Amino acid sequence: MSERTIARNEARDAILEAAVTRLATGGPTAVHPQDICEELGLSKALVNYHFGNRDGLIAESIVLAYERYIDTLITASQEPDLDPVGRLTSWIDALIGWARTNPGLSAALNYPHEAAGVPRPMDAPLAQRLQLAASRAFSNLQGLVQDARASLRDPGDVRELDPTEIALDTAIISWATLGMSVYAAGENLPMRVLPVADYLPMAQERMRGLITLLLSR
């Protein structure tokens, strides 16, 4: 692909998409502006023009990937044919599935201090985008938890759901599934010697059972 085939106003998006692709599997250390620009037939100077430098490119790539990740989870949880518990477990399955196919991004998002190449600090506009996406994720998960808990209650129980309990249950489920996603991504060093693919379906089923038990109490 030559520089003439990518319009100047399309070059930014092309570079960004290429960086996201590399981040997905290899993390920040896999993002090399020179390689990306050579592949696209673009001048490396465009990286500095559009993103300031390599760190700027990586930072925006991480934010864009995270926003798309949250969109994926929300979409998975909105399947109309599922009951409330099914929508919650669909969210969890989507989270774990994403971690398995995006181990580089999973490491960058969950362990930014340990993952080599994650820019620090992130500039304010990008940090605000991350915060907004995280808020969307927690709000959506909290709604799923509330609906699942309501559906699992005894029909004769007319007490109002406690917002504090819903928030705490949401946090517990979020922490538990985050931990499972790290294992699933293979970024936990001890787990690399174990056959994750063999036991993961069983582990996910156990996770569903534990969450149902938690929300049924």
pLDDT averaged per 10 residues, the chain (length 217):
58 95 91 94 92 93 95 94 92 89 85 74 90 94 92 77 90 86 67 62 77 80
| Separation CA 131–CA 63 (nearest Å) | 10
- Domains within the chain, CATH numbers bracketed: 64-216 (1.10.357)
Beta-carbon neighbour count of residue 54 at 10 Å?
A: 19
Q: What is the mean pLDDT of the chain?
A: 85
Tell me the pTM.
0.85
| Separation CA 198–CA 5 (nearest Å) | 45
| Separation CA 77–CA 46 (nearest Å) | 39
Strand runs (DSSP E) across 76-135, as ranges?
none
Looking at residue 199, what is its pLDDT? 67
Looking at residue 7, what is its pLDDT? 65
Tens digit of pLDDT for each residue in 37-57?
A: 999 999 999 999 999 999 999
Looking at residue 137, what is its pLDDT? 94
Looking at residue 196, what is its pLDDT? 59
